[in-house]
Amino acid sequence: MHRVVSFAGLALLLAACSGSSFSSSGAGGAAGAGGGGGTPAGGASGAGSGGAPTSCVDDGSCAPPNPYCDKSAQTCVKCLGHGNCSDPGAPFCDPATHSCVGCVEPGDCPSGNCNQTTKTCVVGCENASQCSKPKAFCDPSSKTCVACLVAGDCGAAFSTCTSGKCGCLGEMARCGSECIDTALDPSNCGACGVKCGSAQTCTGGKCVCRPGLSLCAGACVDTSSDPSACGGCGKPCASGESCDNGSCSGGSSCDGGKQSCSKGSGIACVDTGKSPLDCGNCGTACLADQICVDGKCTHYEPATPCNSCPCASCPTSTGSASTCCMVGGAPSCVVGSSCPGN
C-alpha cells in the first residue's frame, strides 16, 4: 500500500532536516557562538565582540573592523597590504600584526627613521649608527642625535653632560672642544676667541700689559728701556739717544752687559735674559702666555690670588715643577725651577 505525503508535509520534513544541520553539538542543542545559530557553510567559524567574525576562509567571511581574511591563519584582520590602509596618518600595513601603522621600514618616513616600537615616523635617530660627530649619540627618549648621554661620553676635556650637551664645571667656559678659564687664557680672554696681543696677558678676563710693561699710547712698552717712553709715558729720548734704566743718554752703547736694540729713532738698552719683548735677542718677543727666563721664552700664568711669592696655588696647567716668581712686581707661576734674571 502506498502512503501519499502531501506537498505541505514534505516541506515541513525538509525544514526539520535542514534545521538539524545548523544545531551545535553543545549541551541541549544550544546554538553556536553568539547564540544566533551555528556556523554558516563556507563562512566564519567564530565571532569577536559585537558579533564580528574572527575566523574565516575568505574576505566574504569577515566584516569591519577586520574586513580582510588572512587565509594562512584563517583569521580576520584589519589589512593584508598597504593598499588596505586609507588613513593618511597610518598608510602602511604591518605584516606582523596586520594593522595599519605610520611606518614599517625607515624608508617609509621622510626623516628616514621609523620607531620600531610605536611604528611611527620620528625626526632624529633610532641608534648611534644614524648619528655622527660632534653629535655621535642617539638619545632614546627624544630620538635625536646628541653630543653625550653621560659625562663619560664627553672625554677628558669636559666634566658634565646636561641635556645631551657636554659642559664645563664652575666658571670654565666651553671654547670649541675644550674647557677654558677665560679669566686667565690670553687666547680666550673674557670670551672664546678673544686674543691678547703678544705684549699682553689676560687678567680677570681683560687683556692688560704683561708684568714689567706699561701701556703708553696704546702700546705695551718697557719704560726702563724704550726710547719712546723712557722713564714713563710721554717721555721720549732725543733721536739717536739710548734709554737705560729709565734715563736717556747720548750714544748707542749700553752698560752692564745689556744689549743695544734699535727701537724707533733711538736705542733701547735691554737685558735680553729677561725682557719679554727682546728675549735672547733684539726683537724676539715671547708669546702672551710666556715670559723670558734666561733668554728663553717660558710658559707662565699669573699666580692669582697670591700677592707675593711663595704661592702654593699655581694653576695646574703650569705643572708640578712650576716656580712662583715676582715678574714686574707681580707673582707669576713659571714652568721650571728658576725665575727671570736668576
What amino acid is encoded at 221 in this protein? V
Q: Cα(first)–Cα(last) distance of the chain, in Å?
A: 150
Helices (H), 21-158: none
| DSSP notation for 257-284 | TPEEEEETTEEEEE-TTT-SSSSSSTT-
Separation between Cα atoms, residue 109 and residue 104, nearest integer Å: 9
Separation between Cα atoms, residue 127 and residue 61, nearest integer Å: 43
DSSP reduced 3-state for 325: strand
Query: Considering the domain boundaries, does residue 184 fall inside one?
Result: no
In terms of residue numbers, what domain contains 296?
290-335
Query: Considering the domain boundaries, does residue 50 fall inside one?
Result: no
Residue numbers in the chain where pLDDT is lower than 70 = 1-51, 112, 132, 156-157, 302-305, 312-321, 327-330, 340-342
Question: Which pTM was predicted?
Answer: 0.46
Task: Name every residue whose Cβ is closer than 8 Å to that of residue 198 and which is 6 or more positions away in sequence.
Answer: 285, 286, 287, 288
Residue 100: CB atoms within 10 Å: 19
Cα distances from 49 to residues 7, 65, 198, in angstroms, run 43, 11, 84
Take residue 298 and report the three cell numbers written for it: 717660558
pLDDT of residue 41: 38
pLDDT of residue 131: 74
Helix (H) or strand (E) run with residue 76 in it: strand 75-77
Task: Name every residue whose Cβ is closer than 8 Å to that of residue 6 and which is 6 or more positions away in sequence.
Answer: none
pLDDT one-digit tens code per residue, 201-233: 888 899 998 877 899 988 899 999 999 999 999
Maximum separation of any 2 CA atoms in the chain, in Å: 167
Query: Considering the domain boundaries, does residue 11 fall inside one?
Result: no
CB 173 within 8 A of CB 192: yes
Residue 195: CB atoms within 10 Å: 14
pLDDT of residue 321: 64
Separation between Cα atoms, residue 330 and residue 45, nearest integer Å: 97
pLDDT of residue 11: 40
Take residue 29 and report the three cell numbers written for it: 542543542
Query: Considering the domain boundaries, does residue 229 fall inside one?
Result: yes
Query: Considering the domain boundaries, does residue 159 fall inside one?
Result: yes
Of 167, 195, 223, the last residue of a domain is: 167
pLDDT of residue 100: 97
Take residue 285 and report the three cell numbers written for it: 718677543
Query: Considering the domain boundaries, does residue 276 fall inside one?
Result: no
Give 323's strand partners: 334
pLDDT one-digit tens code per residue, 81-90: 999 999 999 9
Query: Considering the domain boundaries, does residue 193 fall inside one?
Result: no
pLDDT one-digit tens code per residue, 224-268: 999 999 999 999 999 999 999 999 998 778 888 899 999 988 999
pLDDT of residue 270: 95
Identify whether residues 258 and 302 lie together within a single domain.
Answer: no
Query: Considering the domain boundaries, does residue 263 fall inside one?
Result: yes
Residue labelled with grid coordinates 710693561:
213
Number of structural domains, the chain?
3
pLDDT of residue 256: 83
